[in-house]
Structure 1
């Protein structure tokens, strides 16, 4: 049994991170999140190796999985774990203080999608073995996240099976839609009127579109980072930077979308004029921007037909 609690207060700010407190199997779990000013800070530590290693056969223990911030050493199958990432370590979150993690007495903390793990890691590690990202914040692909998690949970065979299924689905989509190959794209959210776009080809969201054969627009790759690594803020007077073969934007509210799409500068974008623009609701965009073995099949089914139609208009 799993209990999940959705947070409506937890926005895209990097200062608010979700975590899931819970158990493997039939034990109930509790969702929660922490904010950067409630005791989650800590010292700075860099250690570990980006390679993943298991000290026993698949599904065996003890197991050690290395990450950029340190290694997670698990001696036996965890019965209680905390997922302390942003959107992929836990889909749902509720604002709670850091002490809630300690009170849950987890055997393991999954934090490979925590955008503040560099600061959080020393304190997390004192509570329980903590799984770090391998490459860096937001840079580990969905498959690179699934397999180390499988190692520390003793479910690597299942993780490999899920990864293989999703890889096949992506390969099938790529073969069925050659019109996507080589098409440039921009992708990002419009939240509270503020416009953001993915600017790094290493970003997990950009990698998703790249796996379909598309390319991140060179217009955005040199933009400075916003408060979130790999995302750039776009001024309203520079919406032209969003223009690409296909423009994908996500909105937090229907009203916000209506107001944004009514702007003259937005209407003037070439992609908008030829109808190569796709507007998404936030849950669908999250499935693509923070891809996982669970979110990707849904995201592919929901978005690929729209992508194909938009790309064909730019043939």
Structure 2
């Protein structure tokens, strides 16, 4: 719901990866020995191993064929790293997207839970580092959350099967659940993927049930960008977590869309709602500072502001980014963070 991008998220540890690979080798050796037995000679055929694995997925650039259950998983975006971690996999390499080395709280939780230590990363300043990815000899590459696949696919596909979207437009339109399900299928972890989705959705449902006062309240979500104040909760916007809480968009939302969401200072009254939420940019200075906006006479005259139904969604702790680009790890965490903030705003505290 904003332009913040999470540069833009089966073994849990390298030790487990190694042991799993060794076990797989032993199993394959055993199967190979069995294929020379008298039974196979009589039939003239080799029986397929019980753990045979084969997945085929068409994508926007071709077809991804996965002939063995992946163990070594590489990722090319932070959202893809989130998918791997949520499924209990420690990637062999990921892009270095951390600002000053600070890891988002929800991501650190997952890393700690898997006892992964510090993830191995590559410098993504100039985009995907193909040689670094290739050097890790991945079995599969997750690219469900990247906007660079049109450029990357031809260089990544020779390294390992690439799991990505079926249509280029899905880079923007796929929900985090869609992305997780497609990746989980390619990894042979469909049941685990559904369990992750169910747990996240239960977190939100439980929060909504605990706060019936949210239901039916209108809301506006605005983001102060460097270029403009944006009406982010426009009519066609993915409702995301706000509406899962029971909130609804205002009737003014129909006046705005993804390509026409700027709010001029003389039209700040368009932001009014039962609950008004605002995010200020982290790093780059917005078109207005918090003091300038919250000191503006028209803004302070809004009913939501006067009656204290106004809250700032922080960007420093990555909450604004998690709302804008939810993934398998950030979605339940965003619910945890937003629930008390919304409770105060609805109550006028």
Higher RCO (CA-CA < 8 Å; seq separation 6+): 2
1:26, CA displacement in angstroms?
1.9
| Number of positions where the alignment pairs a residue of Structure 1 with one of Structure 2 | 262
| Residue 88 (structure 1) aligned to one of 48, 57, 79 | 79
Cα–Cα, structure 1 residues 177 and 114, in superposed 2: closer, same or farther, change >3 Å? Answer: same
Q: Counterparts of 1:26 and 1:274 in 2: how far apart (Å)?
A: 54
Kindly provide the CA deviation profile for residues 195-244 of structure 1, in whole angstroms up to 9, marking residues without a partner as x. Answer: 2232456645x222121122233323442424xxxx83333332223222
Q: Which residue of 2 aligns with 1:194?
A: 228
Q: Which residue of 1 aligns with 2:265?
A: 236
Q: Which residue of 2 aligns with 1:271?
A: 304
1:133, CA displacement in angstroms?
6.9
Q: Counterparts of 2:187 and 2:199 in 1: how far apart (Å)?
A: 20
Q: With structure 1 as the length reference, what TM-score do the two structures score?
A: 0.67
1:162 aligns with 2:196: yes
Cα–Cα, structure 1 residues 297 and 99, in superposed 2: closer, same or farther, change >3 Å? Answer: closer
Kindly provide the CA deviation profile for residues 116-146 of structure 1, in whole angstroms up to 9, marking residues without a partner as x. Answer: 5566656655654231277734333332222
Q: Which residue of 1 aligns with 2:215?
A: 181
1:18 aligns with 2:7: yes
Cα–Cα, structure 1 residues 186 and 158, in superposed 2: closer, same or farther, change >3 Å? Answer: same
Task: Say what the alpha-carbon RMSD is for the aligned residues.
Answer: 3.7
More helix by share: 2
Q: Counterparts of 1:136 and 1:109 in 2: how far apart (Å)?
A: 18
Gapped regions of structure 2 (runs ≥ 5): 16-50, 83-95, 98-122
1:65, CA displacement in angstroms?
4.2
Q: Counterparts of 2:233 and 2:59 in 1: how far apart (Å)?
A: 24
Q: Mapping of 1:208-227 within 5 angstroms?
A: 208-226=241-259
1:288, CA displacement in angstroms?
2.3
Kindly provide the CA deviation profile for residues 169-207 of structure 1, in whole angstroms up to 9, marking residues without a partner as x. Answer: 111112121111122222243233632232456645x22
Q: Counterparts of 1:221 and 1:120 in 2: how far apart (Å)?
A: 37
Partners of 1:24 and 1:81 within 8 A in 2 = no
More strand by share: 1
Cα–Cα, structure 1 residues 109 and 212, in superposed 2: closer, same or farther, change >3 Å? Answer: same
1:113 aligns with 2:145: yes
Q: Which residue of 2 aligns with 1:300?
A: 335
